[in-house]
Chains A and B, each alone.
Chain A
Amino acid sequence: SQQGEEDPQALSIQEGENATMNCSYKTSINNLQWYRQNSGRGLVHLILIRSNEREKHSGRLRVTLDTSKKSSSLLITASRAADTASYFCATDYGGSQGNLIFGKGTKLSVKP
């Protein structure tokens, strides 16, 4: 079964608004990563947060990690139409680093 589960499945907002996506997982992890996928394209790495970190920023992105609740959130501030994409969380729970387990994603639509 999928390790990460994103919530909501779909999100529609207006340009300029903030978008928040959540990810829950089931077992202990080494790190959690967020990726973006534009329709039909490959995934693009956005940000990685290690299990001993609580918050990380990258430009308009803010990621939090709560290991006690086994959850993470991705906040995109001042969203733009170009942010329209699917966003996936991926958990590295151990073993080979390649065993990233992806959730089914949140489909974000930003309307101009």
Chain B
Amino acid sequence: DSGVTQTPKHLITATGQRVTLRCSPRSGDLSVYWYQQSLDQGLQFLIQYYNGEERAKGNILERFSAQQFPDLHSELNLSSLELGDSALYFCASSGGTGRHSPLHFGNGTRLTVT
């Protein structure tokens, strides 16, 4: 068990809808990262937060947004959903912003857009 909790585990929704994915990092970890995993694109880095502030941005669409709250949990909001957004969304956490720290992944949220 990595200590990172993601909810929900599965989400099925229709095109055009909006969903919110939630993540609780490992106790004591200040950094949260979001990744998208699909068969054709592999694992893509979306965004990173450190202690409530955005630290790095990857291939995140404008329809997607995220935030990290004072209690360090994070939410990833996906809006105007398209079929191509169907994927596994992972949250990961680490102890700080320094390099040489491994990421601890949750078990993901499987999003299916119909």
Contacts and interface: CB of A to CB of B under 8 A. Distances in A.
A30 B99 CA distance: 8
A90 to B, nearest CB: 8
B45 A101 contact: yes
A42 B99 contact: no
Bin the interface of chain B by size. Answer: 20 to 34
Interface string B79-114: 000000000101010100111111111111010000
Contacts of A41: 107-108
A31 B100 contact: yes
Contacts of A31: 99-100
A102 B92 CA distance: 14
Nearest to B31: A98
Given A97-B94, A104-B42, A105-B42, A44 B2 contact: yes
Contacts of B110: 40
A102 B107 contact: no
Classify the secondary structure of B's interface with A.
strand
Nearest to A99: B56
A28 to B, nearest CB: 13
Contacts of B88: 40
Q: What interface size band does chain A fall in?
A: 20 to 34
A98 B100 CA distance: 11
A43 B105 contact: yes
B9 to A, nearest CB: 10
Interface of B: 2, 4, 31, 33, 35, 42-43, 45, 48, 55-56, 58, 88, 90, 92, 94, 97-108, 110
Top 4 A-B pairs, shortest CB-CB distance: A98-B48, A42-B105, A96-B56, A45-B102
Given A33-B102, A48-B100, A98-B103, 9 more contacts: A40-B88, A41-B108, A50-B100, A97-B99, A97-B101, A98-B48, A99-B45, A100-B33, A105-B42
